[in-house]
Amino acid sequence: MDERELVRRAKGGDEVAFEALVRRYWAKAYRLAESLVGSADAEDVVVEAFAQAWQALPRFREQASFGTWLFRIVLNQARQWRRKQMTAPVEPLETESEEGEELSLRDIEALACERDWRRRVQQAVHQLPEHLRLPLVLRFWDELSYSEIAEVLGIKESTARMRVASALKQLAAILAKMGVLP
């Protein structure tokens, strides 16, 4: 069903329609929350965000897409959560990677594995400063356009582009420091 129709029905109290929206956006919302609060708390944040979205949906004016509206709620929830928890948003990284020390032969072999490479990239993403991490996550994990990213974050589209570019540049630097990217 068309998303606009789902939103219209959900606004009218149709729980099935809202469930469809939840399923459609769960993974993306989770990725966004995870980038802010880590995987241990991401699920809680997203549950809260969807519960809040359900309550607030009648006030959603549809000037933005449902996705960008929802992501703003997720962001707010994640930030509130962090304030409450008073914990650092980044997940602990393995020390040998942070220090960029020489990798053993076994590590090099492990890094050859695509899965491990992805894990390293995820770790590196979490090391980015938030103002760069969020646009990157919204762009490549949540597949938002630059104009949508600008809307979610309340910045200009050109700023969103610049931040994504800076994020990629820093990401490459972090991975190079880890010794996993030439």
Partner 1 sequence: MTCQQVRRQLLAWVEGELDESQWLSFVRHMETCELCRAEAQRWQRLVATLRAIAQSDGIPPVPNRLWSRLRTNRRRLPAAVSLFVTACVAFFLGWGVRGIATPLAPPKVSPAVRQGMDDGRREKARWQEGNHASTQRLRLSLFGETPLRVRLVIPSSVPKSVRPSPFTPSLPRYTPSLALRGATSVAFDIGQAQSFVPLSLPPRSLADLPTGEFALGNGEAVGQGEDASRFADEPFRIFVQVADPQGQVVRTVLIDRSEPNHVVAEWREIRQMQKPQTEVSDDALVSVDADAALPDRSDGGGAK
Residues of the shown chain interacting with partner 1 in the complex, contacts defined by CB under 8 A: 12-16, 18-19, 22-23, 26-27, 30-31, 43, 46-47, 50-51, 54-55, 57-58, 117-118, 121-122, 125, 136, 140-143, 161, 164-165, 168, 171-172, 175, 181-182
Is-contact 106 96, C-beta < 8 A?
no
How many whole angstroms separate alpha carbon 18 and alpha carbon 9?
8
Place of tokens 């929350």: 33
CB of 155 to partner 1, least distance (A): 16
CB of 87 to partner 1, least distance (A): 20
How many whole angstroms separate alpha carbon 33 and alpha carbon 75?
7
150/164 with CB nearer partner 1: 164
68/170 with CB nearer partner 1: 170
55/63 with CB nearer partner 1: 55
Q: How many CA atoms lie within 13 A of 132 on its CB side?
A: 16
CB of 173 to partner 1, least distance (A): 10
CB of 108 to partner 1, least distance (A): 17
How many whole angstroms separate alpha carbon 43 and alpha carbon 36?
12
Place of tokens 């076994």: 106
Is-contact 37 89, C-beta < 8 A?
yes
14/107 with CB nearer partner 1: 14
